[in-house]
Structure formats: structure tokens, C-alpha cells
């Protein structure tokens, strides 16, 4: 039997939110020749026409104010091999790009290599939502690596999806 309890605090709410697995995206750009980026586990598709996606960003973020005014941003759907890179991109200290392989577009969008998908986006709109801002991003270009498994965030841990044997063999063949 389900026993609904009154919400008693943020810890209980975070635990409930963590029951829903999500992918993780990196939102990055090169600013004054320096890579700047952040991780977001709240990425979701929004619309096909116009092509929109969204990420939720804490209002206390010091990175979003740097990125939000850029003409274009790189959005990378991180793969199961990016757990360390994800922690770095989410960190408040240190070099977020140390050891992270990336490429930049002519618009200074940064894309993390070995991701599951990449999108070049621009800010379409922002919606205030509690302690977060929902950034609606218009998609201008895409590329995908459909055989690359995504990084999954669930119950405050990084997880991997199970691949079939054929998928594992195909994936290994693409890596080498």
C-alpha cells in the first residue's frame, strides 16, 4: 500500500526526485578562448516545431550568467564514460575541462567528445521556476552517436543502461 506523507523537507523531496532517472547534458561555450561549461541533469526535449529543448539551472549558478548571453552554445548529451567529466563540469572549483576532450564550432560552441548526441543551441526564452530558471534553448544543428550509451543519473549515482551483446560488439567496433 502506498502511504503518502506530508513533505517534511528538502532531503525527502530530493530523494523522491532522485527516483526518476535522467540523462546528463553539458552546456558549454568558449569565452575569450577559454572553455566554460556546466552539467545539467534536467535536460529534456520540448518541441519539434520550433525545435526546442530545456535545462533547469539553479539561480545561484555563477556559470549560467556567463553562458546565457552567447550567440551559440554547445549541448552534449554525456555518455556512460563521462561520469568524471560530469563531476568536473558540476564542480564549483578547479579546472572543469582538465582531461576532458572537446571540440569547438566556428560559433565557439563547445562539444564534449564521445557523447551520445550534440546540439548547437541558442537561448530562446527563460522561465523563472522557484529556485531554478528553466532555459528554453532553440536547436540550430545536431549530430548523434546512436550506439553510444548515455550517462544516467539516478538516486544520486551515475548508472549505465544494460546493452545487448550485439550492441556491445558494435560499440566496441566503433571505438577502435
- Hey, which bits of 64-168 come out as E strands? 73-77, 102-104, 110-112, 117-129, 132-144, 152-154, 157-159
52-67 pLDDT tens trace? 999 999 999 999 999 9
65-116 pLDDT tens trace? 999 999 999 999 999 999 889 999 998 888 999 999 999 999 999 999 999 9
Average pLDDT of the chain, as a whole number? 90
> Cell numbers 564514460 label which residue?
81
What DSSP element (H or E) covers 57? strand 52-58
User: Which pLDDT does position 137 carry in this prediction?
Assistant: 98
Question: Residue 105, Cβ neighbours under 10 Å: how many?
Answer: 17
Q: What is the pTM of this model?
A: 0.86
- H-type alpha helices, the chain: 10-17, 64-67, 83-90, 165-175
User: Which pLDDT does position 79 carry in this prediction?
Assistant: 94
Q: Has residue 175 got a pLDDT over 80?
A: no
User: CA torsion 105→110→112→115, rounded to 10°?
Assistant: -70
Helices and strands of the chain, counted as H and E runs: 4, 12
10-55 pLDDT tens trace? 888 777 777 777 889 999 999 999 999 999 988 999 999 999 999 9
Q: Has residue 173 got a pLDDT over 90?
A: no
Amino acid at each position: 500500500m502506498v502511504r503518502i506523507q506530508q513533505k517534511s523537507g528538502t532531503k525527502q523531496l530530493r530523494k523522491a526526485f532522485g527516483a526518476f532517472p535522467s540523462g546528463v547534458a553539458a552546456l558549454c561555450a568558449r569565452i575569450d578562448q577559454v572553455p566554460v561549461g556546466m552539467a545539467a541533469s534536467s535536460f529534456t526535449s520540448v518541441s519539434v516545431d520550433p525545435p526546442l529543448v530545456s535545462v533547469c539551472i539553479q539561480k545561484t549558478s555563477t556559470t549560467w550568467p556567463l553562458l546565457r548571453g552567447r550567440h551559440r552554445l554547445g549541448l552534449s548529451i554525456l555518455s556512460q564514460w563521462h561520469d568524471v567529466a560530469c563531476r568536473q563540469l558540476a564542480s564549483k572549483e578547479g579546472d572543469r575541462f582538465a582531461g576532458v576532450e572537446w571540440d569547438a564550432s566556428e560559433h565557439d560552441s563547445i562539444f564534449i567528445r564521445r557523447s551520445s548526441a550534440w546540439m548547437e543551441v541558442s537561448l530562446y526564452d527563460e522561465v523563472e521556476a522557484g529556485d531554478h530558471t528553466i532555459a528554453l534553448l532553440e536547436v540550430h544543428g545536431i549530430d548523434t552517436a546512436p550506439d553510444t550509451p548515455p550517462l544516467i543519473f539516478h538516486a544520486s549515482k551515475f548508472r549505465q543502461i544494460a546493452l545487448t551483446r550485439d550492441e556491445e560488439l558494435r560499440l566496441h567496433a566503433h571505438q577502435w
